[in-house]
Chain A
């Protein structure tokens, strides 16, 4: 009896092992095991236009997250070579590193906030999902370090995000995180106010005589693009604006004000960078086997 029981205990562990081989090792051996997993640096190599746009819209916060990157190569010349410095390649390398860092951090926030419990990242070949969301998912496109652990999700309270990259603007995402119902009435998504922090921006009022001609409200503060983290930065920027004005228009400078505003923090920037990356990376054709 003793011996039989020992054999059976081994069989108990054997059942676990059999299932492990059949439903984990075997699928691995015929999919991910046949090609090298793409690293984050590889998937971040193509810098999305939205990432560059983030650097332009939130310069202060971008500089804080990625110091020196905008100095190495201006955002304008990342996507199109506008000439200029000979160190373009070195600049691009800095940008790619910043992109990779943002994707990593953005994905970690995606996990930490539980985004993956209400949004999926896999398009099935049924239920018209390819019409609604995009091409049916392949294992090859998930064979990268940002899908470890895989973010396929479990429930679709919100839409699938496999091909979210580039579908909406950065501003849309920022507004959506601030209050989802402002841009998507009826949404049940929680708001994420902790992706934002207090900052300052410049705004201006309108000369009453111009306001009368154009019909604009003279008392309203019209914002000027760009958000600054400290009041001193904003004041300095105000001074630069005033200095740049032609002397005839100096009076306009009096109407420039520094007002409190909110800006995305680096967590918000990274999460948006990650969302804007989703679906933009394609595995190279050489690794395609079936």
Chain B
């Protein structure tokens, strides 16, 4: 298959978001996208502030030790949940309001439904955080959103957030599956595959993870299900959304088709098959039957093959246009994220081996890995998408392009410092555990690493604050935006 045969996303051929010649731009509800992006950034800031505060606790300098609803144990729920459900979901949904109508040439189900989903979703995220602050968190990692029921019973004690999330996910799926399903009759671009599946998988995953471990399965089997939930949430929702949007935005910005359409479809199906099988690798060397654990380890290694096909495809697409990394900030966010994606998956393939698990499980290695995935990959991609779309949505030129570069470098350097620091801490912690070093000696040995982690987190947080300020000033300051500034000049053969 040559590149000439490859269908492009509808608007990749030339028109651009800011200057609409075709009617297709009318399908995009810009105010709705702006609203979603705004709350994505708000939750990004609150989540990172919470993360930064929790890191201070590890240095015994926590500012609110005696305020129950601000205690560091409860703020940790907010840190992870607001990033997943507040930032990522808002950013993905906003980006889909741009990508899906333009790709399929059809409007989303309903604009009114869109605003309804928008308000309901912010209420969900807000009430989840408030519920966690009040002590109604659920004991499932990444699914700490309150069930609303007294544990072990069906007495309602708080807003049933889990139920609302499931309904919200259903509505989001309905909203976007209307145009996507109609486009099925045409040849559906791979982005359509990723988004369609991701939306359906999210509903299944969320219901499975929030219902079964709480009401169905005790002990080891509950842990297996919880592990499956954690992995499916990342692998079957966040990853398909992320890659789906990359397949949409990268060809548009680079103004070139994907290198290989066949490879992108292989990548999709290998993801669909192998990713969910990894679930149990979150609880290795546990009392879950070993046959299940071995299966999870092997399929985790298989995922690395998937990852390689996808990453190769994107880097081959970029071939000959390396200058875009320098001249085009969104492209730089995207490709930095892809490098991190490759690193993080390669890391997975190794550290899920039982040999490495013996050392690094239960240590800071794992948060290091998690930050690279959630921040380094998926947040980076959303930073790129929002950075690319913001002037097109507001119609205003950036308040300061330099601040955007500060955002990139502070986040990147902060993240790399944090990642290396936590990895080192994890290896040392794991070895000290194995060597039966007294507990408090281990804690003391970890404190310098936790200090570096706080410093790195501070860098990242400052980067986001600068970016949020820049987004705000850009939206408020009328200054006509000329999209040609951001076109990547090129000679497509």
Contacts and interface: CB of A to CB of B under 8 A. Distances in A.
A159 interface: yes
A98 B32 CA distance: 53
B66 interface: yes
Given A112-B135, A113-B71, 16 more contacts: A1-B187, A16-B201, A18-B277, A19-B232, A27-B224, A113-B74, A114-B77, A117-B73, A122-B287, A139-B220, A143-B219, A155-B367, A157-B443, A184-B440, A186-B440, A194-B66
Interface of A: 1-2, 5, 9, 11-13, 15-16, 18-20, 22-24, 26-28, 30-33, 37, 40, 104, 107-109, 111-118, 120, 122, 124-129, 131-132, 137-145, 147-157, 159, 181, 184-188, 190-194
B204 A16 contact: yes
B448 interface: no
Contacts of B450: 188
Given A32-B220, A120-B362, A142-B287, A148 B213 contact: yes
B358 interface: yes
B362 A156 contact: yes
Given A1-B187, A142-B219, A156 B433 contact: yes
- Which 8 pairs from chain A and chain B are nearest by CB? A142-B219, A19-B276, A114-B73, A28-B221, A139-B220, A112-B135, A126-B358, A139-B287
B4 interface: no
Contact of B286 (A30, A124, A191): A124
Contact of A31 (B59, B219, B296): B219
A7 to B, nearest CB: 12
Contact of A111 (B151, B221, B288): B151
B218 A147 contact: yes
Contact of B214 (A13, A22, A37, A149): A149
A20 B268 CA distance: 19
Interface stretch (B137-145, B317-325, B333-341): B137-145
Contact of B184 (A2, A116, A118): A2
14 contacts: A12-B272, A22-B292, A23-B276, A24-B208, A24-B212, A109-B135, A111-B137, A113-B74, A122-B286, A127-B433, A149-B139, A156-B433, A188-B447, A190-B65
Interface string B217-246: 111111111111000100010000000000
B102 interface: no
Given A23-B295, A122-B287, A126-B285, A31 B151 contact: no
Contacts of B219: 31-32, 37, 139-144, 147-148, 150
Interface residues of B, number: 90
B286 A127 contact: no
Interface in B279-296: 279-280, 283, 285-289, 292, 295-296
B127 interface: no
Interface string B285-317: 111110010011000000000000000000000
Contacts of B152: 40, 104, 145, 148
Contacts of B138: 111, 149
A124 to B, nearest CB: 4
A107 B214 CA distance: 13
Given A12-B200, A111-B151, A150-B223, A24 B139 contact: no
A27 B433 contact: no
A283 to B, nearest CB: 10
Contacts of B150: 108
A148 to B, nearest CB: 5
Interface in B345-364: 354, 357-359, 361-364
Contacts of B277: 18-19, 22-23
B77 A127 contact: no
A15 B273 contact: yes
Contacts of A114: 73-74, 76-77, 137
Contacts of A18: 273, 276-277
B76 A137 contact: no
A64 B398 CA distance: 62
Contact of A30 (B66, B184, B228, B289): B289
B340 to A, nearest CB: 22
